[in-house]
């Protein structure tokens, strides 16, 4: 399997020889740099063990929390009253909604 994103390529599969042959072919056609085993890609952390592969976004999540100033915040079950009725004419309009969009996106 080959995944290409702009100028980054991930090559994976069950046959190491096929992977090496593909890398050799690509090196003959293009100037490429093999960074070794995948550890981090597009906000995803990849860890391997004998049990399998674990993919997480811990680092990315911590970066978002740090950017919006919530890095030290404690988790809660509900951030607002569950029975609250939201309306268009109450509350303050955000000056810059980009932090909110990034946080919930």
Statement to judge: residues 51 and 102 lie in one domain: yes
User: Which of 53, 57, 37, 35 lies closest to 45, judged by CA?
Assistant: 57
Does residue 45 share a domain with residue 25?
Answer: no
- CA–CA separation, 27 and 59 (whole Å): 31
In angstroms, the first-to-last Cα distance of the chain is 28
For residue 55, give its domain range: 37-73+96-105
Count helices and strands (H / E) in the chain: 3, 5
Q: Is 59 found in the same domain as 12?
A: no
pLDDT at 60: 85
- The pLDDT mean for the chain works out to 87
20 shares a domain with 58: no
Number of domains present in the structure of the chain? 2
Q: What is the pLDDT of residue 28?
A: 94
What is the pLDDT confidence band of residue 10, given thresholds at 50, 70 and 90? Answer: very high
63 shares its domain with 104: yes
Residues 16 and 63 in one domain: no
Q: Which residues pair with 49 in a beta bridge?
A: 52
pLDDT per residue as tens digits for the range 41-58? 888 899 988 888 899 999
Residue 70 to residue 79: CA distance in whole angstroms: 13
pLDDT band for position 92 (cuts 50, 70, 90): confident
């Amino acid at each position: 399997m080959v995944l290409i994103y702009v100028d980054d390529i991930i090559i994976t599969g069950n046959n190491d020889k096929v992977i090496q042959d593909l890398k050799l072919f690509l090196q003959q056609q293009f100037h490429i740099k093999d960074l070794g085993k995948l550890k981090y890609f597009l906000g995803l952390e990849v860890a391997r063990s004998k049990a399998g592969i674990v993919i997480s976004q811990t680092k990315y999540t911590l970066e978002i929390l740090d950017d919006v100033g919530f890095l030290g915040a404690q988790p809660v079950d509900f951030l607002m009253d569950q029975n609250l009725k939201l309306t268009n004419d109450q509350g303050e309009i955000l000056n810059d909604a980009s932090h909110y969009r990034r946080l919930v996106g």
